[in-house]
């Protein structure tokens, strides 16, 4: 459906997008996840043909966005970060203008305008000037423009920013229903949203693609093979010694819990080995009934934080070094990198 190959966007010495490649397949909902300033919007702007690229290739439905922009853009509906609405028009006029611009045939025009406006629930306000509408409604008018004519790919840049909780819920429902027979790409820095709506997640940080996969895959990737146990025993130290004695186990930690139970964690030395049986047998031999055994869970949130912390730490060190050398030159210079990094860390 969409293929992005070695995409690079350079502004002076700054790489907004640094060698990103991925493939978008039909009929799925993709989520671009990343802290503010990660390069999500830039990537989307390039994919939709709004800005040019430094090097690389974007192919939409077999059409290169640079060489055959007309064909490529015809397959895409795009809602940018700020809804591109004209304040001096009413929603109905605006959506009609969008339909004319998209070259929707005259006999289908009225029908598709009606559909888009009903889906986004802007029929009630269709005759008011857009500049008098609230942010939520404006966002919906922008959304109506993007889904108008139901293009094969719908790209949404932070579609829920500035909406109230009820509107966010409605927006997610709408995206989910669109995802049934369209390809939807949305960007967000809100993890729960992406986790909630998307089938496939692409994590971008500092212009680089650092991980991609389904939410489960991402969790598995980070999980490793650590286990959590609960045993019935009085002495945590004895349990610790018993578990450490199991061949292939390492990093054993034990701490007492209520009602004469002990909670323990251990990791296998070899990630692929299965220690469950050995653990069971050891506990049985020691006379400590095993109450619970499960792989330690890791949420997508910690995956995300860990991933951006890894690359973030490197970049931070580099940025600090740069800023120090800059400060020597002139005190006024404000390096960009640490600022975006702090923002990223907060989220």
Partner 1 sequence: MKAVYKRELESYFNTMTGYVFIAIVAAFIGLYFVLYNLRMGHPYFAAALSSTIAVFIFAVPVLTMKSFAEERKTKTDQMLLTYPVSVPSIVLGKFFAMMTVYLIPLLIGCLCPLVIRIVGKGSLVIDYSAIVLFLCLGAFFISIGMFVSALTDSQVIAAVVTMAVLLVIVIWDSITNYIPETPVASLIGFIVIFFLAAFIIYRSTRCWTAPALIAIFGLVASIACYFMAESWFQGALKKLLAALSIFGPMNNFVSYYVFDVKGLLIVICFAALFIFLTIQAVQRRRWN
What is 229-296 written as a DSSP string?
Answer: EEEE-S-HHHHHHHHHTSTTEEEEEEEEETTTEEEEEEEESSTT---HHHHHHHHHHHT--EEEEEEP
89 binds partner 1 (CB under 8 A): yes
Segment interacting with partner 1 (CB under 8 A) among 30-38, 90-98, 237-245, 330-338 = 90-98
Query: Going residue by residue from 93 to 132, which x/- string records binding to partner 1, judged by CB under 8 A?
Result: x---xx-xxxx-----------------------------
56 binds partner 1 (CB under 8 A): no
Least distance to partner 1, CB of residue 65, Å: 10
Please give the Cα distance from 174 to 154 (Å, whole number).
12
Please give the Cα distance from 336 to 302 (Å, whole number).
25
Please give the Cα distance from 154 to 175 (Å, whole number).
9
Please give the Cα distance from 343 to 333 (Å, whole number).
19
345 binds partner 1 (CB under 8 A): no
Count, residues near partner 1 per rule CB under 8 A: 29
Alpha helices in the chain (DSSP H): 40-47, 69-74, 91-101, 106-119, 135-147, 165-179, 191-197, 215-223, 236-244, 276-286, 300-329, 337-346
Nearer to partner 1, 48 or 167 (CB): 48
Least distance to partner 1, CB of residue 61, Å: 13
78 binds partner 1 (CB under 8 A): yes
Query: Going residue by residue from 139 to 178, which x/- string records binding to partner 1, judged by CB under 8 A?
Result: ------x---------------------------------
| Positions in the binding site for partner 1 (CB under 8 A) | 45, 48-52, 69-71, 73-74, 76, 78, 80, 82, 84-89, 93, 97-98, 100-103, 145
């Amino acid at each position: 459906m969409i293929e992005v190959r070695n995409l690079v966007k350079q502004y002076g010495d700054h790489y907004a997008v640094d060698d990103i490649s991925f493939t978008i397949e039909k009929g799925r909902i993709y989520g671009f996840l990343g802290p503010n300033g990660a390069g999500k919007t830039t990537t989307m702007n390039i994919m939709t043909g709004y800005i040019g690229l430094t090097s690389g290739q974007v192919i939409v439905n077999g059409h290169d966005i640079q060489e055959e922009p007309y064909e490529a853009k015809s397959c895409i509906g795009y809602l940018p970060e700020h809804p591109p609405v004209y304040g001096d028009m009413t929603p109905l006029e605006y959506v009609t203008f969008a339909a004319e611009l998209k070259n929707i045939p005259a006999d289908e025009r009225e029908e598709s305008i009606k559909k888009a406006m009903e889906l986004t629930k802007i029929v009630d306000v269709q005759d008011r000037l857009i500049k008098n509408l609230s942010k939520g409604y404006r966002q919906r008018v922008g959304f109506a423009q993007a889904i108008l004519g139901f293009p094969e790919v719908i790209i949404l840049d932070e579609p829920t920013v500035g909406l109230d909780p009820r509107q966010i819920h409605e927006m997610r429902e709408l995206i989910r229903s669109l995802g049934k027979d369209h390809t939807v790409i949305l960007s967000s820095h809100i993890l729960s949203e992406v986790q909630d709506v998307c089938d496939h997640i692409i994590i971008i940080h500092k212009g680089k693609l650092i991980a991609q996969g389904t939410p489960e895959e991402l969790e598995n990737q980070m999980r490793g093979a650590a286990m959590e146990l609960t045993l019935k025993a009085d002495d945590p130290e004895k349990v610790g010694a018993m578990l450490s004695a199991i061949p292939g186990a390492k990093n054993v930690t034990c701490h007492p819990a209520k009602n004469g139970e002990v909670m323990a964690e251990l990791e296998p030395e070899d990630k692929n080995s299965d220690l469950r049986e050995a653990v069971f047998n050891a506990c049985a031999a020691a006379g400590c009934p095993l109450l619970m055994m499960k792989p330690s869970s890791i949420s997508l949130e910690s995956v995300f934080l860990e991933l951006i912390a890894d690359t973030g730490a490197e970049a931070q060190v580099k940025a600090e070094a740069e800023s120090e050398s800059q400060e020597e030159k002139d005190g006024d210079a404000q390096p960009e990198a640490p600022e975006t990094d702090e923002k990223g860390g907060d989220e």
